Amino acid sequence: MDNVVTLAHGAGGRQTSELIDKVFGRYFANPDLTADDAAVLDVDKGRMAVSTDGFIVSPYEFPGGNIGKLSICGTVNDISCMGARPKYLTCSFVIEEGFPMDKLEEIAASMAATAKEVGVEIVAGDTKVAGKGQVDGLFITTTGIGEMLPEANTSGAFAKPGDAIIVTRDIGRHGCTILLARNDFAIDADVTSDCAPLWEAVESMLDASKDIHVIRDATRGGVGTVLYEIAGQSNVGIRLDQEKIPVDPAVKGVCGMLGLEPLYLACEGALVVVVPKDDVPAVLDALHRGKYTSNAAVIGEVVDDMPGSVMMRTEIGSETLLSQPAGELLPRIC
Amino acid sequence: MCVGLSARVVKVKDGTAVIDASGARREVSAELIENLNPGDYVMVHAGAAIAKITSDDDEESAVVMEKIQ
Amino acid sequence: MNEQALKAKAIIENYSGPELRIMEVCGTHTHEIFRMGIRSILPENVNLISGPGCPVCVTPVGFIDEALMLALEKNVTICTFGDLVRVPGSETSLAGARSQGARVQVVYSPLDAYELARDNPDEQVCFLAVGFETTTPAACIAVDKARENGVDNFTLLTANKTMVNAYRALKGSADAFLYPGHVNAITGTSACEKLAEEGIYGVVAGFTASELLTAIAVTITRLTEGKPFFENCYPRVVTREGSVKGMRLMEKVMEPCDAEWRGLGVIPDSGLRLNDEYRNFDARFRFDIPEIRGKGNPACRCGDVLQGKCRPSDCPLFGKVCTPQHAVGSCMVSNEGTCSAYYQYDFILQQARQQAAQK
């Protein structure tokens, strides 16, 4: 096979079949993976959760993962947050002409490994090749289907005054990793992305508490954006304890250099969970035994004053508002 | 103005210094400070070390508060 | 927080004398004061005013227009601190220019801009040199290296400012200043001692919680004593002589000039520009930029806000057409701008309190 992807691989002919068989078929093989126009799947009674997400990340490889792993984790985590067991995924690739074949294989392999870890099957896919410069490396879109656990009932609108706010690990790792990997600011630090599939963590929490109000995946906008969304949807205030928010020292150092707020750095393996205070010990205990959630911590509480706002108790014992999400993350220097 | 970060000097060479702030490392200009050595602590701003730091802010607050006691 | 900082906090909280106006003149002070919620522990008779210390807030509209002209008409790659990207010019911002195809690169240091120029000799690279004495030396190092190594495709668009005459212009707007610690790290403190003789008082303040609390406590105590004063409350970083090398470098590369401060107008001898030796690295000279008078919104009261003459909420645009999402005035653009900080804290706080009361 060629050592780079060419336009012919996207033309639908022999080379397309070859690419699908030798790369995707080989790694994604499972009984439900279709060779026809659509996958035909068995569904149980009950409700399903469906989600779709597109992945564009530059660079496509970074410490702790690559775009393939990210594309599985992102959709798996979205479904998991609803309390649904991820069952099936589809994936659609748009690949830039000239993309190295061995890198494509690496990406497919890590998608397969991540899917296997979660127990989700990739059942259908699509491949397109775009001309040089029309795409930055490759874009992947995944769609997932999950089976709702009958007792799960979570939503960003269900936070209630008195609830505790938990993050399932230290925050801001993915955003920091990508920032460093782009090398725009010539900073060096040992930080790896938190990119991880979190179904197991969600399942263990749902097992530990029958009354989890909110589970949200803190991705692009970071934990801060999710908290503002929850405060808005539930029409409640949120009060954080600045000192309790877990941040890796190196992430803190990078943020200090560039004047960034870790609460607004992207995560790809951290959840924000809202639970009644009484359930905190059981939920934390379950999380602390998990593979990706061993430093989960309570970072604040839901309150009834200041609806729609996120406040922060500071190191001097006063209170301030967390600045609101501001779109593009820009380093503040002068 | 002027986001500053305190950091430890790891290496000094040809007018530049590598600094480390709790694990975040970067090369910065050392041209604004006389006699910079590895192990020194500096305040860094916009890619230049702007001052040597002589103590931490706990010791400093004792000195400052003495002025008004 | 250490014991001394707790003492300082108690001095601040227990102050009960006549009203005091203390002006911080550093965007990072404003930012940290906001982030640590220091305003919420101040008694009512201590008024902390955010003065013109954020370079973004004092940079005139015309400067952004000059940068936009370089980017869009002169095919120059613009290197800038992230702070300036969303600041509105007369027509658009640098972010807007970028979406029209202009090359706008966010950098951490002027030296990064120099390196970009060195590594891409076919590209004209201009660094937007804003900032005070803290930031200016790094820009001087960059342009000095460019001259030394013949990197002729590098330029600065200067809007560098110096603080001392700004304090003089603001005399009367406040009873005392919190001087920006990192400016004094370079300039030293002799100018502040001289200001005290002229009746302009203040303390050099650092940036941590204990540094800000102790600096404010010292200021309150000295003002209560009623005698002329200057104190260095940031001695672990700031010395009397400052960075001699940094000051020499600025003298070598730049010369004083009058400067326009957005909202305040022209303050004599409050800016720096490249001197004749380095003229060829001045983007205005190299690209023959005509004098541009930017058009700000005439109703915007950023100037009065910067001088503590009015609160942000007294401006007719505030919270209506001017919000952090759609900034009209420069004080709303950067997170540490007075209007932005006020919008994000006090204004939202009041709205929420009203909502809660209606409930």
Q: Which residues of A are less than 8 Å from B1 in CB distance? A: 334
Q: Which residues of C are less than 8 Å from A330 in CB distance? A: 82-83, 85-86, 106
Alpha carbon C200 to its chain's center: 20
The model's pLDDT over A175-196, given as tens digits with 9 standing for 90+, comes to 999 999 998 899 999 999 999 9
pLDDT confidence band for C265 (50 / 70 / 90): confident
At residue B69, does pLDDT exceed 70? yes
Q: Which residues of B are less than 8 Å from A173 in CB distance? A: none
- Whether residue B46 and residue C81 make contact (CB cut-off 8 A), yes or no, is yes
Looking at residue C311, its pLDDT comes to 83
The whole-number average pLDDT for the span C167-173 is 91
The count of structural domains within chain C is 2
Whether C27 and C130 share a structural domain: yes
Q: Which residues of C are less than 8 Å from B34 in CB distance? A: 244-245
Q: Smallest Cα–Cα separation from C245: which of C186, C190, C204, C160?
A: C186
Whether C293 and C316 share a structural domain: no
pLDDT above 70 coverage of chain A, percent: 99
**Mean pLDDT of the residues in chain A:** 94
Q: Which residues of B are less than 8 Å from C108 in CB distance? A: 26, 46-47
Whether C174 and C211 share a structural domain: yes
Give the closest-approach CA distance of C296 to chain A in angstroms: 22
Contact between C283 and C125 under an 8 Å Cβ cutoff? The reply is: no
pLDDT confidence band for C355 (50 / 70 / 90): low
Q: Which residues of A are less than 8 Å from C356 in CB distance? A: 305-307
User: Judging by beta carbons within 10 Å of its beta carbon (0-12, 13-18, 19+), is residue A325 exposed, middle or buried?
Assistant: buried
- Determine if the pTM surpasses 0.95: no
If you measure CA to CA, which chain A residue comes closest to B46? A333
Range of the domain at C181: 1-298
Check if B68 contacts A (Cβ < 8 Å).
no
- Whether residue A307 and residue C352 make contact (CB cut-off 8 A), yes or no, is yes
pLDDT confidence band for C356 (50 / 70 / 90): low
Contacting chains of B (3 CB pairs or more, <8 Å) are: A, C
| A185: enclosing H helix or E strand | none
Interface test with A, best of C9, C28, C35 (most A CBs within 10 A): C35
**Per-domain residue ranges of chain A:** 7-148, 164-321
CATH 3.30.1330.10 for the A7-148 domain, yes or no = yes
Whether C224 and C276 share a structural domain: yes
Exposure string (b/e) for C248-263, b if CB count within 10 Å is 16 or more? ebbeebbebbebbbbb
CATH code for the domain in which residue C118 is found: 3.40.50.11740
Token representation of residue A166? 């938990």
Sequence letter at residue A256: G
Check if A184 contacts C (Cβ < 8 Å).
yes
Q: Smallest Cα–Cα separation from B43: which of C181, C115, C232, C7?
A: C181
Looking at the DSSP bridge assignments, the partners of residue B6 are B43
Whether C131 and C205 share a structural domain: yes
Question: Which CATH number applies to A164-321: 3.30.70.940, 1.25.40.90, 3.40.640.10, 3.90.650.10?
Answer: 3.90.650.10
The model's pLDDT over B18-67, given as tens digits with 9 standing for 90+, comes to 999 999 999 999 999 999 999 999 999 999 999 999 888 889 999 999 98
Looking at residue C240, its pLDDT comes to 97
Range of the domain at B50: 5-66
Looking at residue B1, its pLDDT comes to 47
Q: Which of C298, C322, C341 is the last residue of a domain?
A: C298
The whole-number average pLDDT for the span C169-197 is 95
CATH code for the domain in which residue B39 is found: 2.30.30.140
Of the two residues C56 and C139, the one the predictor is more confident about is C139
Give the closest-approach CA distance of B40 to chain C in angstroms: 13
Spatial separation of the C-alpha atoms in residues C187 and C201, rounded to whole Å: 17
The count of structural domains within chain B is 1
Give the closest-approach CA distance of A165 to chain C in angstroms: 21
Interface test with B, best of A192, A252, A257 (most B CBs within 10 A): A257
Contact between A188 and B25 under an 8 Å Cβ cutoff? The reply is: yes
Q: Where are the beta strands (DSSP E) in A103-179?
A: 121-130, 138-148, 164-167
Longest dimension (CA), chain A: 68
At residue C348, does pLDDT exceed 70? no
- SS3 call for A264: helix
Looking at residue C308, its pLDDT comes to 79
Looking at residue B3, its pLDDT comes to 84
Spatial separation of the C-alpha atoms in residues C313 and C301, rounded to whole Å: 10
Check if A305 contacts C (Cβ < 8 Å).
yes
Whether C218 and C350 share a structural domain: no
Check if A98 contacts C (Cβ < 8 Å).
no
Spatial separation of the C-alpha atoms in residues A239 and A227, rounded to whole Å: 10
- Whether residue A306 and residue C130 make contact (CB cut-off 8 A), yes or no, is no
